[in-house]
Structure 1
Amino acid sequence: IYDHIDDYKELLGKLNSHFGGMDYEIVNLSDLSLHRKAPEIIKKLVNEREKIGDLLFPLTKCLALRVACPQCGLTDRFGIKNCYDGDIIRFFCPNHGWHSFDIKKDNLQKLEYGSPLRNFVRGLLYTEDNKEKDIPYSWLRVTGSDHAGFYQEQLFYRGAAMLDIDIINSPLIVYCPLITDWTGVKLSKKISVNGGYKYLTEQGLDYFLDYKKFNFP
């Protein structure tokens, strides 16, 4: 995404101008780790890792928390070999062995999350913001309609209940339209990278794949 961040900024700038100067800010997930409630939320996740892992990752039943190896940058993507001891999480690198992370003392921006866990953590932090009367805004989540339906929201509500978090202030979720291929499913980054949409280029429709070729007035 960082290779294309300027495209996002250009599009946001055009939308901002078109809709009358709406303020916006680009925030990375690592920035959310600086949230005042992040340490508390992460601690709760670790304490209930078996329940949350089973809910969000039924194939591995592990909490997909990870920190890159400080020497080579490799991660255990699904957190399968993670070891937990209070506030300490130990991560395994096949090249350099074990390395540890302290939830209370180390930089939480180093923590990475599997996709379902990332969405869950984001929703919990937004819920915490919506509870606060001195925060002058409320969160509204906009996501692709491929995630629409009861399944995603059920995961959030059930997970929040496992952590004993009141979701009455959880953000409203709005599902946006998708660009789909001829089969009716959303365009896939993986398929695009592997050349699976060559037929779109041959038909002069590659503007669906490349923002630079998309005619945006």
Structure 2
Amino acid sequence: MGPSPLKNNDETRKEILSAIRDFVPSLNPNNPIFASFHNGQVQNPLGGGSYAFQDDIVGPVLSALVDDEVLEGKRSAAQPRLPTRPIVIHAGLQPNNSPHAGTLVVFCYAFSFARWMCGRMQKMAKDAGFGGKLPAVSVEITFVDTAPVDGKGVTVDGVQYQRAYRLAGPSDFTDDYHAVLRFLSRWSGIPYTAAFQSDFFSGPSIPKILEYILSRHITLGRQLSPKHGVLALRAACPVSGCGLAEKHGLLNTYKGSTITFKCPNHGPHSICVSEPAEAARIEANAPARNLIRSMSHLLDAKAHNVRVTGGDYAGTYQEMFLYRPLAAWSAATRLAVGKTPHILYAPVIVDWSGAKLSKSLYVREGAYDLMKVLGTDGLCSFARLRDHFDDDGSEGLRRIWLEVESWLKNPKKLFRSYSVEYLQRVIFETEKKD
């Protein structure tokens, strides 16, 4: 039997594929579906971070933590190149949806990195003949419970006010997050703690950091909020049953260490940030929170802090909102001289167009309906992933965990994005092989 003519006739194949592409939208003309094709091959070309860290990401981070201790004068150059302080890997979440694939990848990265870090330190200690105690490694997941509850805010005279989860009560999705964290902690052997915004703003260095920020609120407002030009610091109205907070800080007034906020129902109320109990009530938008958190981590003399966040926060976002104001702070205060935050960026999960898979809050109604048709809506939330496998959620999450683990084994894979179509093959199509 001779070779199939289709294998040798590019024009015939092109015509067939073109016909399929033209036919598929007609299946549902009111909400058309479009066909695309790929060869199933995965490329991991080197460049930038993937070139620099193609063989190792854990070692350079450990070395940077040791260098921090040297900068602080806390160790001699003769000591083994191992950190001496506990290491905390941080990640965060807004509890306004069941965690989708992007969030799950961030969590898996945090726990996997912590596991690899423990293993690397053990090997380094053994190779160096070091018999001392190695620092503990843990994961801390912060619930950004100051995120707004959908449908609970109001707009008055064009000014937006919100009510946050910290006053409205636990999110409906809290159990999903804890289920995920318990699985990852068990598989990695790494303990975790859950923290909230009040825990973060109760830190010992926070009052002094806030005093610095208030003293430069005009400059920092322009830097951290290009749209509004003012610091987006908030505090919920203290009147029982109210809890409204002005979202963007447009009406805030500043005097010394005191911020005065305005409630549309009950008028002005104030917080003195030099008082720790009052500082714990502060809320901040993402850029301001990012800066305050980084300052507090750099001042932490008891632990090393490493953050894992989505790759969509890398690049210009950090250069403008974090590193420029951090450099000005260090120059003005002589604090954390020579130190910068330790941040790892998880690969972004993207759709066919290259846009990141997002919470429904940021996309139009029904944007991901097709994923249900294709059987991939489990990527939109842990709850749907659990339903897909008809279990406690462990099977789908385990497949994501193993995929992220493979990235740590081959770190060049950490410096790229991954498509929904790619994860479809990793998570769902492997069912056919199991």
TM-score by length of 2: 0.46
1 or 2 for the larger relative contact order (CA 8 Å, sep ≥6)?
A: 2
Q: Is the 8 A contact 1:140 1:174 kept in 2?
A: yes
Return the match for 1:108 from 279, 286, 297.
Answer: 279
**Partner residue in 2 for 1:22:** 190
Q: Distance in 2 between matches of 1:28 and 1:153?
A: 26
Whole-angstrom distance in 1 between the partners of 2:299 and 2:377: 42
Aligned to 1:158: 324
Question: Shift of residue 167 of structure 1?
Answer: 5.2
Residue 46 of structure 1: aligned partner: 214
CA contact (8 A) 2:306 2:344 kept: yes
Q: Which runs of 4+ in 1 moved over 4 A?
A: none
Which residues in structure 2 correspond to 1:45-64 (within 5 Å)? 45-64=213-232
What residue identity is the alignment partner of 1:184? G
User: Is 2:295 the counterpart of 1:124?
Assistant: yes
Which residue of 2 is the match for residue 202 of structure 1?
373
Q: CA deviation at 1:49?
A: 0.4
1:4-23 equivalence runs, <5 A = 4-19=173-188, 21-23=189-191
In structure 2, relative to structure 1, the CA distance for the partners of 1:103 and 1:191 (3 Å cut) is: closer
Q: What is the RMSD of the two structures over their aligned residues, measured on CA atoms?
A: 1.8
- In 2, distance between residues paired with 1:56 and 1:181? 29
Deviation per CA, 1:65-106: give whole Å up to 9, x if none: 111112321111111111111122111122222111122335
Aligned positions of 1:28-107 closer than 5 A: 28-71=196-239, 72-105=242-275, 106-107=277-278
SS of residue in 1 equivalent to 2:176: helix
CA distance in 2, matches of 1:29, 1:100: 19
The alignment-based identity, stated in percent, is 35
| Residue in structure 1 matched with residue 142 of structure 2 by the alignment | none
Q: Which has the higher helix share?
A: 2
Structure 1: state its 5+ residue gaps. none
Counterpart of 2:194 in 1: which secondary structure? coil
The one-letter code of the counterpart of 1:69 is C
* Greater Cα radius of gyration, structure 1 or 2: 2
Give ranges in structure 2 of 5+ residues lacking alignment.
1-94, 96-170, 386-395, 399-434
For the 8 Å contact 1:51–1:162, the answer to whether it is kept is: no
TM-score (normalizing by structure 1): 0.89
